[in-house]
């Protein structure tokens, strides 16, 4: 069998702990036997981030801008304990934060659905993708304790020194106060990323906020989405047979629960934080959640939504058997290869990505699964396998599908 050729590289960002082990196995068992892999490799493992003073993270993000597609392994975000464990010269920032700041994107998270792992919400048949705005609001706030007799005002001093003031509260008793912001630029990129992703995946977009109560702040989000949609996307959406609609956040929550799924739910930063955990849990498992960062100029970075699965790694180091679920990481690879194929008009590569995903899902639906799914699967003939056996079972099917 001839291996599939790739004209343009994808950016490969290696990572840490158990997911680093899985990363190599996925390549060895599921990618390299079938694809003549063309990747520009960046080692984002904590040891190498420390050796390069985190320059490797910046370089990998810039390479992603250059080539347009990246696949990323989960990485450790250092805390005090990691500084000691890895003898770090600094407490480096989260690689995902650094990459997001350079690519300026929106994060889309979608569950992978398999028979036997049933959503808790009975009506959900198709995945619900959450698009979370990842800038501003309460995550970049200023807050204070206000005491009795205090007077709180909102004040903007413009560039000529003129002040615009508005009373927030004359405190008759002790209380609290909070200030937050967003920018037209960030909201606009968020809107464009959502609309582009919708065209890409042929799904409707729902956007929700609370503009009836927040008549300037949330209303600005609504207006920007609307203006960009009307000016740049309306016709493309009509052609693709998909829709954009805006609704209040409380109405959206009610509709989501009654829905079948199969759309993108664009959420403000806080709503997205809360709702993505709810949706992931209600669909069954964190290890079955994909994540892709899409920048407004069409650059894509694929990863799993979970972390480095540290507890399993320590077992692995002790020589104990692990049963770690590699599905979300496999789908990060298939997502990146499919996107590369699309951009390069490489039909073979796109078809391979489809086969890889099908082999993965068919393996689980045939009853072969890792421990996390074994616990929740309703299949009768289910069998728990270890980390490597699971990948080998997928590899066997994939070999058949690629004949
Ligand atoms: P985690 O890696 O998401 O794992 C938490 C627990 O969830 C695991 O102990 C395991 O439960 C279960 N789990 C998650 N993924 C699984 C999988 N693929 N297969 C089976 N079980 C899975 O979170 P963490 O252990 O709290 O974080 C470890 C490191 O990951 C941290 O250093 C953090 O900074 C980093 N992190 C990175 C990213 C990223 O790069 N995108 C995201 C989140 C966290 P059981 O132990 O019960 O089996
Ligand atoms: Mg959260």
The closest ligand to the CA of 77 turns out to be 1
Phi, psi values for residue 134, rounded to 5°: -110, 30
Which ligand 1 atom sits nearest the alpha carbon of residue 15? 40
Question: What count of residues does the chain have?
Answer: 403
CA of 180 to the centre of ligand 1 (A): 31
The closest ligand to the CA of 286 turns out to be 1
CA of 89 to the centre of ligand 2 (A): 28
Q: CATH topology of 1-113+289-403 equal to that of 118-140+181-283?
A: yes
Tokens of 184: 């037209």
**Among 25, 292, 309, residue to substitute to test ligand 1 (most atoms within 8 Å of Cβ):** 309
Q: CB of 299 within 8 A of CB of 134?
A: no
Tokens of 201: 């995946």
**Among 70, 97, 306, residue to substitute to test ligand 1 (most atoms within 8 Å of Cβ):** 306
CA of 157 to the centre of ligand 2 (A): 34
Annotation: CATH topology of 1-113+289-403: Isopropylmalate Dehydrogenase (3.40.718)
pLDDT at 103: 85
Could you list the mean pLDDT of each consecutive 10-residue stretch along the chain, which spans 403 residues? 93 98 98 98 98 97 97 96 94 89 86 91 94 88 94 96 96 96 94 93 97 97 98 97 97 96 95 88 86 88 94 97 97 98 97 98 97 94 97 98 94
pLDDT at 101: 80
In 3D space, the residue among 373, 332, 342 whose CA is nearest the CA of residue 118 turns out to be 373
Cα gap 24→13, rounded to integer Å: 12
- For residue 29, is it left (φ>0), alpha (ψ between -120 and 50) or beta? alpha
Name the closest-CA residue to atom 31, ligand 1. Answer: 76
> Is any ligand 1 atom within 6 A of the Cβ of residue 372?
yes
Q: CB of 195 within 8 A of CB of 227?
A: no
| Strand segments (E) across 147-261 | 151-157, 163-170, 175-179, 204-209, 244-248
pLDDT at 65: 96
Enumerate long-range contacts of 22-25, CB under 8 Å, 24 or more apart: 22/324, 22/326, 22/329, 22/387, 22/391, 23/73, 23/329, 25/326, 25/387, 25/388, 25/391
Phi, psi values for residue 127, rounded to 5°: -65, 150
Cα gap 357→337, rounded to integer Å: 11
pLDDT at 333: 98
User: Which residue ranges make up each domain of the chain?
Assistant: 1-113+289-403, 118-140+181-283, 142-179
CATH says 118-140+181-283 is which class? alpha beta
pLDDT at 317: 97
Query: Residue 94 in 3-state DSSP?
Result: coil
Cα gap 335→330, rounded to integer Å: 9
> Is any ligand 1 atom within 6 A of the Cβ of residue 186?
no
Query: Exposed, middle or buried by CB within 10 Å (0-12, 13-18, 19+), for 86?
Result: middle
The pTM for the full model equals 0.89
pLDDT at 141: 87
> Is any ligand 1 atom within 6 A of the Cβ of residue 281?
no
């Amino acid at each position: 069998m001839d291996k599939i050729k790739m004209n343009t590289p994808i950016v490969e960002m290696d990572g840490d702990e158990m997911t680093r082990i899985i990363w190599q196995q996925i390549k060895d068992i599921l990618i390299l036997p079938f694809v003549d892999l063309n990747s520009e490799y960046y080692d984002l493992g904590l040891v190498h981030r420390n050796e390069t003073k985190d320059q490797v993270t910046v370089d990998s993000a810039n390479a992603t801008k250059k080539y347009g597609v990246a696949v990323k392994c989960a990485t450790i975000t250092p805390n005090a304990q990691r500084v000691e464990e890895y003898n770090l010269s600094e407490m480096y920032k989260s690689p995902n934060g650094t990459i997001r700041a350079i690519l300026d994107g929106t994060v889309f998270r979608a569950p992978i659905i398999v028979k036997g792992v049933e959503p808790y919400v009975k009506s959900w048949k198709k995945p619900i993708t959450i698009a979370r705005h990842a800038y501003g609001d309460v995550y970049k706030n200023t807050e204070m304790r206000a005491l009795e007799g205090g007077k709180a005002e909102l004040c903007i001093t413009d560039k000529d020194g003129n002040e615009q003031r508005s009373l927030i509260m004359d405190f008759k008793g002790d209380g609290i106060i909070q200030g937050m912001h967003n920018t037209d630029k960030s909201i606009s990129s968020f809107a464009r990323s959502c609309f582009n992703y919708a065209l890409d995946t042929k799904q409707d977009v729902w956007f929700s906020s609370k503009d009836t109560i927040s008549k300037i702040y949330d209303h600005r989000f609504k207006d920007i989405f609307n203006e960009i949609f009307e000016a740049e996307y309306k016709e493309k959406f009509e052609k693709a047979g998909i829709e954009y609609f805006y609704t209040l956040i409380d109405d959206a929550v009610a509709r989501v629960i009654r829905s079948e799924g199969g759309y993108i739910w664009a959420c403000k930063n806080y709503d997205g934080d809360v709702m993505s955990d709810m949706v992931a849990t209600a669909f069954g498992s964190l290890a079955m959640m994909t994540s892709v960062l899409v920048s407004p100029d069409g650059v894509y970075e694929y990863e799993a939504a979970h972390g480095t699965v540290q507890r399993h790694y320590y077992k692995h180091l002790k020589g104990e058997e692990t049963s770690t679920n590699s599905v979300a990481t496999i789908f990060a690879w298939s997502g990146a290869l499919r996107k590369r194929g699309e951009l390069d008009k490489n039909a073979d590569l796109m078809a391979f990505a489809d086969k890889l995903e099908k082999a993965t899902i068919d393996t689980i639906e045939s009853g072969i699964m890792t421990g996390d799914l074994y616990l929740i699967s309703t299949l009768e003939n289910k069998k728990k396998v270890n980390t490597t056996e699971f990948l080998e079972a997928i590899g066997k099917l994939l070999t058949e599908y690629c004949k």
